[in-house]
Amino acid sequence: MKIGICCFPTVGGSGIAATQLAIELAKKDHEVYLISYDTPFLLRSSRHPNITLELVDILSYPLFKDIGDPYTILAASKMVELVTREKLDILHIHYAIPTGVSAYLTKLITNVPVVITAHGSDIHILGVDPSYNSIISHAFQNVDGISTVSKFMKKEIYDKFAKNQDVRVIYNPIDIEKYQKIETQICDFRLQHDTNFVHVSNFRPVKDTPFIVEAFAEVLKEKSDLGLILVGEGPERKKCEELACKLGIRDNVIFQGVRSYIAPIYNCATALLSASKNESFGLTLAEAMACETPAIAPRVGGVPEVIDHEVNGYLYELGDKNSLVDYMIRLLNDEELKNRLGKAGREKVVNNFSGSEIAEEYIKWYKKVLND
């Protein structure tokens, strides 16, 4: 098939998931056209023969200084040109805002079948906002298919938008070769502590990373010489650094910024920690689990579809720091428990989120959409 996939090029989960899907489809000999305004993060370090990058031109014009460049229209122009030139079979949009609307316009002009995958805040933060709601609802009701990344999100979409529409749940694809247990550590930085916890996020307030720093400080009271590796960048990074200083644990908190290859970091951790107040799936949880590193996360959104409590990780009630600390200490003190949960986590990911299998599910869905 000739498939256009549109995504954000940044480290955010929707862009990573979309690019991983593109890679898996390309491996299966489909011709993939990746539409974005920059090279997607996962493609910056590798190339794939069946993937063509189609960059949206960002034309700046003085009149748009206050409102920003009209990306919806610029992306739609690129899509119309691409669909017409390459005669695409289907356009698949990741993250409904704003390019779901670009694709809907493209469909009106070219008649190309369009499917949208909703990922999270495009529904529960932006999509429900009256500033976006009417146009996003209309687009959802008029494209050829909607999918999303968890059963939780499917319910959100039913409740808030597409009551009469069939929403397909397809979990996010994980590269199970890249994310696996590595016996020899090859971190590109010096590990300062023998035992570490890890947190990977974009430090937005929804991730509540300061909560992780506070919980870690409690664990340090029980056991010293531990590291907390914080991967990523974002608005609350500085707040976390200040908090670590205030709590007197700055030497134990290692800020690693954005990394292109984090499998070794997952591998050197006793557990991956999350404090997200909302998470439609939680890509980093599944990546860590694929490396046999158990994840501990709040019982919110689609997280219980990824972590099975006490089977392959731990779920705690949002804000319940005592439980988070308790689970961290349990894993620190019991290597056998950590290994058992870790192995079960890998099994869960291989059986449910393997990139190759998820790509097959998307292909089946595309075919159904095209035949309906």
Type of residue found at 125: I
Number of residues that bind ligand GMT (CB under 6 A): 19
Type of residue found at 352: N
How many C-beta atoms surround the C-beta of residue 290 within 10 A?
A: 26
Task: Name the nearest CA neighbour of 314 among 197, 222, 151, 193.
Answer: 197
Stretch that binds ligand GMT, among 40-48, 60-68, 219-227, 281-289 (CB under 6 A): 281-289
Residues 316-345 that bind ligand GMT (CB under 6 A): none
What strand order describes the sheet that includes 2-6? 51-55, 31-36, 2-6, 90-94, 114-118, 145-148, 167-169
Q: How far apart are CA 89 and CA 99, in angstroms?
A: 18
- Does 243 participate in binding ligand GMT (rule CB under 6 A)? no
- Does 119 participate in binding ligand GMT (rule CB under 6 A)? yes
The nearer residue to ligand GMT, 56 or 88, going by C-beta atoms, is 56
| One of 4, 9, 14, 232 touching ligand GMT (CB under 6 A) | 14
Q: Helices then strands (H, E): number in the chain? A: 14, 13
The nearer residue to ligand GMT, 5 or 219, going by C-beta atoms, is 5
Q: How far apart are CA 146 and CA 173, in angstroms?
A: 17
Residue 187-226 contact track with ligand GMT, rule CB under 6 A, x = bound: -------------------x--------------------
Least distance from C-beta 310 to ligand GMT, angstroms?
22
- Does 282 participate in binding ligand GMT (rule CB under 6 A)? yes
Least distance from C-beta 218 to ligand GMT, angstroms?
25
Integer CA distances (angstroms), 239 to 11, 296, 304, in order: 21, 22, 29
Least distance from C-beta 338 to ligand GMT, angstroms?
24
| One of 72, 99, 121, 201 touching ligand GMT (CB under 6 A) | 121
- Does 147 participate in binding ligand GMT (rule CB under 6 A)? no
Stretch that binds ligand GMT, among 49-57, 117-125, 173-181, 355-363 (CB under 6 A): 117-125
Residue 171-190 contact track with ligand GMT, rule CB under 6 A, x = bound: -x------------------
Task: Name the nearest CA neighbour of 18 among 28, 33, 30, 6.
Answer: 6
Q: How far apart are CA 143 and CA 348, in angstroms?
A: 33
- Does 278 participate in binding ligand GMT (rule CB under 6 A)? yes
| One of 3, 6, 9, 13 touching ligand GMT (CB under 6 A) | 13
Least distance from C-beta 148 to ligand GMT, angstroms?
8
| One of 120, 227, 264, 355 touching ligand GMT (CB under 6 A) | 120
Residue whose tokens read 């930085």: 189
Residue 15-44 contact track with ligand GMT, rule CB under 6 A, x = bound: x-x---------------------------
Type of residue found at 18: A
- Secondary structure of 21-67 as H, E, C letters: HHHHHHHCCCEEEEEECCCCHHHCCCCCCCEEEEECCCCCCHHHCCC
The nearer residue to ligand GMT, 2 or 299, going by C-beta atoms, is 299
Integer CA distances (angstroms), 212 to 11, 121, 198, 201, 265, in order: 21, 22, 10, 11, 17
H/E stretch holding 257: strand 253-257
**247 within 8 A of 218, measured Cβ to Cβ:** no
The nearer residue to ligand GMT, 40 or 282, going by C-beta atoms, is 282
The nearer residue to ligand GMT, 88 or 162, going by C-beta atoms, is 162
Point out which residues bind ligand GMT (CB under 6 A): 12-15, 17, 95, 119-122, 149, 172, 206, 278-283
